[in-house]
Structure 1
């Protein structure tokens, strides 16, 4: 029995090590099913608490994956609101679109674009969010600056990060945010799985 448990433990450790060292960015569509697995602390309930989506708002999501957050947030915006989603992989956007159609959600607008150069005018959004996506972007500072540009002056940005080798640690996020004209107003959760609320710094 002890021998079997040791083998199982070794196998689990090997699987974790393989995941850690082979995890790629952006997350490949071929493994999209993993993106629907709930992450501790980065729950939809906690996202609701920090994002505070309101009916009629226009909100931006970067890196929607398969739509776990998108399909939860979009209905909260109502018929007069809109959720724009941005991903560099068209396959991910198509996947979200199919799920949205199946669920009768019709206020999600897909945009195949690079987060370094967002295709939106200044001050377009009431809020924006990224869940386990910022650390996968090659130049997170540049993307934060773009998000700052696309937000309204009193807008809000929510960043959710989970512990993997791409994670932006809270201390790094604070530094990156300041360089992009943002400030970290609140942190929720432990450092290995946290949400941060960022606000634009007044010019």
Structure 2
């Protein structure tokens, strides 16, 4: 007499299988969040227009303080959320250079600029680690949630230091995501290439930092030596 065969059972049952699948997905997502360093894809560009807590245009302006007639540089402009605010404040005699490694992003910003009647934005397809500009070209430069996307952050900071004027300023905005450069890491890497963090605004998870070349004076420490000004540590 034959006995009906029992169906093959998974050792953990259905609930265990779903739990295992969920854990695997979570692990994969965590690995992507922590290790992926690719720039934000243009296919998701609409998300770049969403405001980020503590990284508003008003907070950027407090640190950047754009002035008419200045020449500025933006690395990783995205869809132009900041570019379209900065360019008008530079006036007809000023200029905003935007640099990105994705032509689609540059084209998007330029379409928006044309629609707003702005003709003082100049796009350049380039890598932030090898900027195609002469030394001491810019009065100021800024990056908002872009520095951590660059594979070699020290190289990018070194290039920014090179193209800034001795009295120039650099503003870095960072938000808590998989690319974020924490304040202490920014200060350490900036010091190594001759940039000094003057001040930071906002919490560590979403902050703006103002930096200057170590050879330039600062309003709060006008008589400090260059070496001293490049020995600042900011808690993470």
Structure 1 distance, partners of 2:201, 2:118, is: 29
Structure 2 distance, partners of 1:135, 1:24, is: 7
Residue 233 (structure 2) aligns with: none
Is it true that 1:158 corresponds to 2:175 in the alignment? no
Is it true that 1:126 corresponds to 2:146 in the alignment? no
2:52 maps to which of 32, 39, 44: 39
Q: CA 1:68/1:81 → structure 2, altered by over 3 Å: closer, same or farther?
A: same
Structure 2 distance, partners of 1:130, 1:25, is: 16
**Ranges in structure 1 where 5+ consecutive residues have no aligned partner:** 1-13
1:21 maps to which of 24, 32, 40: 32
Residue 100 (structure 2) aligns with: 87
Residue 196 (structure 1) aligns with: 209
Structure 1 distance, partners of 2:195, 2:110, is: 31
Q: CA 1:170/1:79 → structure 2, altered by over 3 Å: closer, same or farther?
A: same
Q: CA deviation at 1:20?
A: 8.2
Residue 58 (structure 1) aligns with: 71
Residue correspondence of structure 1 range 70-109 to structure 2 within 5 A: 70-109=83-122
4+ residue segments displaced more than 4 Å: 17-20
Q: CA 1:151/1:21 → structure 2, altered by over 3 Å: closer, same or farther?
A: same
**Ranges in structure 2 where 5+ consecutive residues have no aligned partner:** 1-24, 216-225, 227-236
Structure 2 distance, partners of 1:123, 1:73, is: 20
Q: CA deviation at 1:21?
A: 3.1
Aligned residues: 189
TM-score by length of 2: 0.77
Q: Deviations over 1:45-86 (max 9, x none)?
A: 001111000000000000000000000100000000000000
Is it true that 1:175 corresponds to 2:188 in the alignment? yes
Q: CA 1:163/1:20 → structure 2, altered by over 3 Å: closer, same or farther?
A: farther
Q: Deviations over 1:81-116 (max 9, x none)?
A: 000000000000000000000010110000000000
Q: CA deviation at 1:180?
A: 1.1
Equivalent residues of 1:20, 1:165 under 8 A apart: no
Residue 153 (structure 2) aligns with: 140
Larger Rg: 2
Q: CA deviation at 1:125?
A: 0.2
| SS class of match (1:184) | strand
Structure 1 distance, partners of 2:126, 2:139, is: 20
Q: Which has the higher helix share?
A: 1
Equivalent residues of 1:20, 1:164 under 8 A apart: no
Q: CA deviation at 1:168?
A: 0.2
Q: CA 1:60/1:20 → structure 2, altered by over 3 Å: closer, same or farther?
A: farther
